[in-house]
Amino acid sequence: MTSSTPKFAAIKEFIFSQIESGNWPEHSRVPSENELCEQFAVSRMTARRALQELTEQGVLYRTQGVGSFVASAKSQSALLEIRNIADEIQARGHFHSAELVQLTELPCPTIVAGALGLQRNEPVFFSLIVHYDNQQPLQLEARFVNPKQIPAYLQQDFVQQTPHEYLSAVAPLTEADHVVEAILPDEFTCKYLKINKTEPCLRLTRRTFSREGAVSFAYLTSAGSRYRLGGHLNINTSSKK
Q: What is the CATH number of the domain that holds 182?
A: 3.40.1410.10
112/202 same-domain check:
yes
199/114 same-domain check:
yes
What is the pLDDT, as a whole number, of residue 191? 95
Task: Look at residue 79 and tell me if it is in a domain.
Answer: no
35/92 same-domain check:
no
CA atoms of 175 and 179, how far apart (whole Å): 14
What is the pLDDT, as a whole number, of residue 26? 82
Chain centre to alpha carbon of residue 241: 26
Rg over alpha carbons for the chain, rounded to the nearest Å, is 20
What is the pLDDT, as a whole number, of residue 43? 93
Burial of 18 (0-12, 13-18, 19+ CB in 10 A): middle
215/135 same-domain check:
yes
97/42 same-domain check:
no
What is the residue range of 12's domain? 7-70
User: How many independent structural domains does the chain possess?
Assistant: 2
119/184 same-domain check:
yes
What is the pLDDT, as a whole number, of residue 73? 55
What is the pLDDT, as a whole number, of residue 67? 87
Task: Look at residue 230 and tell me if it is in a domain.
Answer: no
SS3 216: strand
Task: Look at residue 155 and tell me if it is in a domain.
Answer: yes
CA atoms of 168 and 172, how far apart (whole Å): 5
pLDDT along the chain (241 residues), means of 10: 72 87 86 94 92 81 83 49 81 90 96 90 97 94 96 96 93 83 92 93 90 91 76 43 38
65/97 same-domain check:
no
42/103 same-domain check:
no
Burial of 189 (0-12, 13-18, 19+ CB in 10 A): buried
Say if residues 165 and 84 touch (Cβ distance below 8 Å).
yes
